[in-house]
Amino acid sequence: MINKKHLSTILVAILVLGAILYVGPVTMAWGNKDDSDEDFEWVTANRIGNPDAEIVLTANIQRFDTLKTPFDTKKEYIKKAATAWAKEHPNVRIDIEVAPAGQTSMTMSKIMTQAISGNAPDFAHIDSFWIGRFIDRGILQPLNDYLSQETIDDFYGFTKKVTMRDGKMYAIWAQTDARFLYYRKDWIKNPPKTWDELIETALAMKEKHNVHGYLAWLGTWEGAVNGNVWPYFWAQGGRIFDESGRPVIGEGKNREALINTLDFLNRLVDTGAAPRMVASITSIDPILAEAKANSVAMVANGNWFYDMLLESVDNAEEKWDFVPLPQMKESQRANSNGGWTYAVLTDDPVKQELAVSYIMAVLGSKEAMGERCKVYNYLPTRKSVYKEYPYFADNPVQQRFAKELKYGHARPSNSLYGEVSDLVQKELGRILTGQTTVEKAVDKIQKVALQAWKENKR
């Protein structure tokens, strides 16, 4: 027979043992274990989150924001940021379709077709100059319910001219760029501020150092107009479309501004300030090669070119510097700013909120934007990042980049922009190769663009 003293001892032992056994499941249930205990990866090339999650979102994302990026630093950032979000949303999974590199038009057209037929991804990467086409078709969802007014106000004005309509924000523009004139500061004491000064300086450098005076990518592609036509055209007050969306690029003062711009680019080649090969350059590689070989005095290119110079050219900081693009008149100033946006297409409010939550956590919040733009070598699109995030706030070069965003312009959110851009690209190539005159080219651009607008209105 067990006495009371022994019974008490046995009961205490049972209680203690029960408590010990109970601690394990509680600890594991709350997730206080090493990631190594998981039997799955939180982030893969085609999935973010728990593979067994009940809520599933779909997304079409450009390769550079997935684990398929070829750059280890970007891959590391995405994995870390996406994993953190996924662990905060353990019952959500994002299935990713990775867009093929270099196929922007095809991917944008595919997403639009999917949306029209009712099977679009829940959210997607949308190139900034395609946003207007998506908004015009009523495909994108307004995001104001998920963003504070303070957040919306923090974005630079040129981004909101594209992403907003009637006070509603339809996309989050998370990174941008800007264009500059890079010059050999060890050769050029006073960098040019006007077109005439640029041509004069380029010819002098060509004569003195037996190098290319000036290089830019003026081949037939979007980069030619975005980097070498629009900044000059906009600085003169030029407009591509009027308020109704009608093309006016070849009418009145706009015609004059475009003629001035294309004539300047033609003069660069005709005078020998730039070699004729610029008419076929559509990538950074030949330009960077000339810089590495000390064979060019000036280059028109984006903010990304600065780090490329530092990495590729010996003693680059002693040789190269940058200034705003020279304009027709010294008093004029404008820039062209590109970049990608994220937009939400699903009409499911639960998925909308989750999509915006992911976008902000990985690239849209001040903290995420600062870190991602640092890693990716992008320029932030929120003003506060340049004031609060140390890498941008304390970096003199980044502050110089930021100043140019005050003069920023985005390609217009008009569904006809792509056609107009293609027209300008092709006519610029014909001008530089002597196949047409500037005036004839501008008149053709206006005529074809206007006809396309009329057909779209039918």
Residue 37 lies in a domain: no
Q: 53 in a domain, yes or no?
A: yes
Report in angstroms the alpha-carbon separations of 218 from 92, 229, 393: 46, 9, 34
Same structural domain, 453 and 325: yes
Please check whether residues 158 and 244 belong to one and the same domain.
no
The answer to whether residue 117 scores a pLDDT higher than 70 is: yes
The burial class, CB within 10 Å (0-12 / 13-18 / 19+), for 213 is buried
**Is residue 183 within 8 Å of residue 297, measured between CB atoms?**
yes
Q: Check if the beta carbon of residue 147 is closer than 8 Å to that of residue 171.
A: no
| CA–CA separation, 253 and 234 (whole Å) | 11
* H/E run at residue 131: helix 131-136
Q: What is the pLDDT of residues 356-390, one digit of tens each?
A: 999 999 999 999 999 999 999 999 999 999 999 99
DSSP-derived secondary structure for 195-242 = HHHHHHHHHHHHHHHSSBS-B---SSSHHHHHHHTHHHHHHTT--SB-
Do 66 and 95 form a contact (C-beta atoms < 8 A)? no
Same domain? For 103 and 193 the reply is no
Instruction: Please state, rounded to an integer, the average pLDDT across all residues of the chain.
Output: 92
195 and 305, same structural domain?
yes
Residue 211 belongs to a domain: yes
Same domain for 228 and 216: yes
Domain of 241, CATH number, reads 3.40.190.10
Residue 13 belongs to some domain of the structure: no
Q: Would you mind telling me the total number of residues written for the chain in this entry?
A: 458
Tell whether 151 and 62 lie within a shared domain. Answer: yes
Beta-bridge mates of residue 322:
182
Which residue, among 260, 273, 269, 272, has the nearest Cα to 332 in the 3D structure? 260
Are residues 391 and 424 both part of a single domain?
no
Q: Is residue 5 part of a domain?
A: no
Return the C-alpha torsion angle 56, 60, 63, 65, nearest 10.
-60
Residue 450 maps to a domain: yes
Q: Are 235 and 334 in contact (CB under 8 A)?
A: yes
**92 occurs within a structural domain:** yes
Same domain, residue pair 191 and 314: yes
In this predicted structure, the answer to whether residue 41 has a pLDDT above a threshold of 50 is yes
In angstroms, rounded to a whole number, what is the distance separating the alpha carbons of residues 163 and 134? 10
Average pLDDT over residues 106-131: 95
Query: Are residues 198 and 307 located together in one domain of the fold?
Result: yes
Q: Which of 322, 316, 281 minimizes the C-alpha distance to 298?
A: 322
Angstrom distance (rounded) from CA 66 to CA 48: 10
Whether the pLDDT of residue 136 is over 70: the answer is: yes
197 and 75 in one domain? no
The alpha carbon dihedral of 351, 353, 355, 358 has a sign of: negative
pLDDT for res 418: 87
- In a shared domain, residues 344 and 254: no
Picking from 366, 385, 405, the residue at the C-terminal end of a domain is 405
367 and 381, same domain (yes or no): yes
For 319-330, write each residue's pLDDT tens digit.
999 999 999 999
* pLDDT value, residue 28: 25
Assess contact for 114 and 120: CB atoms under 8 A: yes
Helices (runs of H) and strands (runs of E) counted in the chain = 20, 11
The pTM of this model reads 0.86
- pLDDT tens-digit readout, 273-284: 999 999 999 999
Q: For residues 128-149, give the mean pLDDT.
A: 93
* Percentage with pLDDT > 90 across the chain: 87
**196-236 confidence digits (pLDDT tens):** 999 999 999 999 999 999 999 999 999 999 999 999 999 99
Question: Stretch 434-444: mean pLDDT, rounded?
Answer: 98
pLDDT at 421 over 60: yes
Range of the domain at 304: 180-337+414-457
What is the number of structural domains in the chain?
A: 2
Picking from 383, 405, 427, the residue at the C-terminal end of a domain is 405
Q: Is residue 429 one of the residues assigned to a domain?
A: yes
